[in-house]
Structure 1
Amino acid sequence: MAGKLNLIFSYKFELSIWKYVISQSGTFLVFELRSDKSDEVRFTYYDLVEKRLVEINLNESDFRTTLFEIEEDQIYFKKYDAGANPVIQSILSWDRNLASTKVLPSDTNVNRTENRLISPSLYTAINEHYPLLVSFIKSLTNDEPNNKGIEYLEWNDYVVVSYYTGEKSMANFLLVVNNNKEIVVHEQLGINLLGIGQDTFTVDGNKLIFVKDNCEIFIYQYE
């Protein structure tokens, strides 16, 4: 029997999702959020086990601070100086258990998180399979994908595609279809776009993750 795809988390932030990193265990995600109109930057994480969203009150941070790495209970950030060619000034370590910050030297060795995320393949109009993908999408949605690019991934019992419509002002859509060619998810991810994105969705194990309108996160789980 085919597995089901269930929405386990969605949240619309006030600021744009600039970056997110998932922990090695796959139990929580950390978000870097930034304002499009000011230097405001915030950090938060979502615990997939306890199902709670937690603000990270990171002391010593400013708009030159950016999310770096995760070592489960320790979340690391890089803080840059204000020079014309910014260099790392220090590493900030935030402890999830103590909710406290430590300032570490800029050359501190931090174990890099293994990349768990699976990204889709990008097909462009010069690819021989592109017309088949366009026909596939059109037959299910009646949308007319343009020739800018389609991201495609076969995942468990599903096909996941990200495509664009329009020319000068484009819209981006995510489509998830099961083995019976039934639409499971069909979301508009963005409008008034001037170009295409990369990795508009990713997969971490049994989770499908994507961002809508730069500020709303969705996580579906395969069960």
Structure 2
Amino acid sequence: MKPFPNDWSRALAIVAHRDDVEYGAAAAIARWVREGKSVSYVMITSGEQGIEGMDPAVCGPLREKEQIASAARVGVSDVRFLRYPDFVLENSPELRADLVAVMREYQAELIVTLNFRDRWPGGDFANSSDHVNAGSAIVSAAQEAGGVRWVAACTSPVSTHGVDVSAFVHEAVASLQEHQEYLRGLGPDDRSLEMMQEILMHGGVQLGTEAAVVFELIPIGGGTSDGDQPDS
């Protein structure tokens, strides 16, 4: 596992759903913000189908509110919602055009997203089609936008790079905890908080630190995957 490159200043986290950032990547974002890097969030859907038994018209705005509070926990104040339909997301020309536009607007060098491979690490669980389609659209848009150097997919089964977040686990936990209604909707036996911490601990084993966020780092334009000027 190589150290993550550190020679960049502007990142844009683009994910399919509210809470996708919080399952791992938020810890790295907390570190990057502390180091003075600019990070903003773009949520493709509102996650309005994400709480069983709740009307999507109620769920969507509620989850947007929770995401804003969650982002604030890691120092991110700029959160944008594209409001594409949840659970039926497609890699469409319209989505790719919208993503190109926001990448150019933010002049992002690094695009952070969630694993978009067919399966999660370990191979036992299939990935959501929303994640797969979002990731494919993001890579295509990054290639078209210009200025993007990497797409970094968190918790990919073919991760290549890691960020030491040993000092930022607390911020990551607090960020996920802000999704209060979502977590409550998962039921009393939900292990989301424990699972997220386990992901960070396993990443630390891979990187050789106490805790780490691991990414599949995809070079786009002018970036390399060799860990130039690595995180230290």
Give the alignment's TM-score, normalised by structure 2: 0.26
Larger relative helix fraction:
2
Give the alignment's TM-score, normalised by structure 1: 0.26
Structure (1 or 2) with the larger CA radius of gyration: 1
Structure with the bigger RCO (C-alpha within 8 Å, sep 6+) is: 2
Larger relative strand fraction:
1
